[in-house]
Amino acid sequence: MVNIKVIAGSTRPGRFNIQVANWVVEQAKKHKESANVELLDLAEINLPFLDEPIPPSKGKYQNEHTKKWASIIGGADGFVFVTPEYNHSVSAALKNALDFLFAEWNYKPVTIVSYGSLAGGARVTEHLRGIAGELYMFDIREQMLIPNYWDNRDEKGEYQFSDRQESKLEKQLSSLIFWAKHMKTARQEL
């Protein structure tokens, strides 16, 4: 079994993010024979701005909230980043949550699901790939971009995910779980 964490990367009241994150969690739970899936909602986790005196790459965390976050991420084998695109880049909340730690992200796969206007979050996805590389993560090539999501919501404001999106996400999740399993074994040799 591998532990997959779906990270909800927007903390705004009324955010669209949580709809996408919940959809990803639901899809991922179909892999219950091979993966434990958990939503990590940054709005609930509520980290302050990075307040560790020593750079995270040294692994000398001093604050209780950092130790708690490190234990959650340290126990994970793979991630889905569900991300908004703010000014062509990563939300402060998601970047902060990533910056807090180092070793706990290392040698773990990540797949990215983004949304936004016409580009569907293509630019934040590219930025996240660079950040993932610096954290020694493996970013899966396949990606989910959801452009102009506001055009495809019902009267209650619920986004209508299509079968095509569902099968595309399934490919991402299968790949994520495959690499999570194999990278878990590889990490044991480090």
Q: Which residues bind ligand FMN (CB under 6 A)?
A: 10, 12, 15-17, 84-88, 116-117, 119
State residue 185 phi and psi, 5-degree precision. Answer: -65, -45
Nearer to ligand FMN, 71 or 117 (CB): 117
- Measured from the CB atom, the residue of 160 and 188 that comes closer to ligand FMN is 160
Structure tokens at 42: 């940054």
Q: How far is the CB of 90 from ligand FMN (least distance, A)?
A: 10
For residue 14, the minimal CB distance to ligand FMN (Å) is 7
Is the CB of 41 or the CB of 104 nearer to ligand FMN? Answer: 41
Residue nearest to ligand FMN (CB): 116
**DSSP, res 8:** E
- Assess contact for 166 and 27: CB atoms under 8 A: yes
Q: Which of 180, 165, 184 is nearest to 24 (CA)?
A: 165
Measured CA to CA, the distance from residue 106 to residue 74 in angstroms comes to 9
Q: How far is the CB of 124 from ligand FMN (least distance, A)?
A: 8
